[in-house]
Structure 1
């Protein structure tokens, strides 16, 4: 059976748990990884023909101890614990990617994006990230209005001005991994003023909900893939999909810390995952910001959607069409 990526040698999904909420103030998101596992995500992937390896190697005792006394650095909240967690994630992702496996990070808050982008870049230097989110998460240490680092992972990974700061500079690459078409955003609808300026100055490609309404999700994904492949119809650039469930409308995924009305429908979110799978170039995925502490029925719905998005990225639809499985 083929893998979903020309770059992934083994049909093994490495599920890396990232039970961390230090990038933002609301508790509960650290419970997301275990909730996804209790929903039988590994079994669901095995039914799609995948081997599953569960990675709990990150030293959470050390990180959580650090979190209890992590003083602000200027405006940045929990910088030491976020940095350590991100660095360890980058190392874990690099290990699995070098082994020819597909690393899938189960968050946790989206501060993990720095680690996932850096880890994949170490193995796939040309990797592009498709960041599906209601928020741009590209504030720097200079522009962040809150100091919450789940709003900064893209700028830190790209080494934008104001983001090469302690304690991150001890392990972030210098020069950074930035390139003109390194990142494409899909689903934005709540962007800070400082982020708007950064996106414009850096000429970063953005497809907001307005673009999805105007062109339709199929055309938007096609344009995004054309862009990261240098304006061509080729689909061979390595792709990292970083999917925040708040990209979806709250009616679809209500159990998340920063819901914003007017988001992606169930089918639009899944189409993104299906289309990225079809490229044959997926090298990594994040699924973040599921908060099981919120109202139980909403949490169950959001957890189920999160599992479904991962299945779609790993080929659920292609197997359904081929008649190999009827997994719902």
Structure 2
């Protein structure tokens, strides 16, 4: 019998907490790495839910230094916003052993997108190329995260809309057998896992959906469902999707979802506010680099016009900067 995989999740926010809760419930005993008040919360009360019918789930929570001293991690999930990974690099590096698999749970165009063929960095998410240099692409498992969840910043209560799916695949070898490792880790877990070989096709489907819904959710103060069902807003979201699909094709990739499938997914999301809208409401920094600026950066380099996307992103950026200045 093979030993259980030793798994840590770097980041105790909404996505990291959700993955930890589902793995713990399936008996996989993950360790969550967190800081400050969130670390104290997890140690004291475990992962709690806004739904009173859901019992708290106790988890092992450590600071990064203690987790690094333990060592021997088989899988490290990076459950941080893209802009926070480079800032946390010195804490992440000691967790990575010679055989550790790294699974970044990030939005937008990921820093590893052009690896291993080139060392070209996506500067909007990796300005100095530090992430490209830090991680061996042969050990990165690309992830596309389809979850709708939020974390109350005061109580620590987690809310999920029940849509929980991870699409996973090696970024360096389309024939790598990531299925065996991931099937063992997520066996019996409530999160649906879809191992695939062409991860970049799935990346572009999610990039398009994120880009068309997140900045506009701030500008219009609208739910995802409203953005795709309101005739006023759909006249903005659909051109943004089309622009992103054109960018993917310019880079030689056909997104895994058609335009019609993307619109259908958006409509099904209903009364859910995007993570960017949630961040804006609580006065936090927006994930503009990963979700918007990365695509606009590549569009400029590839000569693809994204006029609607740029306009919405600029207005969103203005609103965010104004609120941060007021705070």
Larger radius of gyration: 2
Question: What TM-score range do you get, normalising by the shorter chain?
Answer: 0.3 to 0.5
Structure scoring higher RCO (CA < 8 A, sep ≥ 6) equals 1
TM-score scaled by structure 2? 0.33
Provide TM-score, normalisation by structure 1.
0.32
Higher normalized helix content (fraction of residues): 2
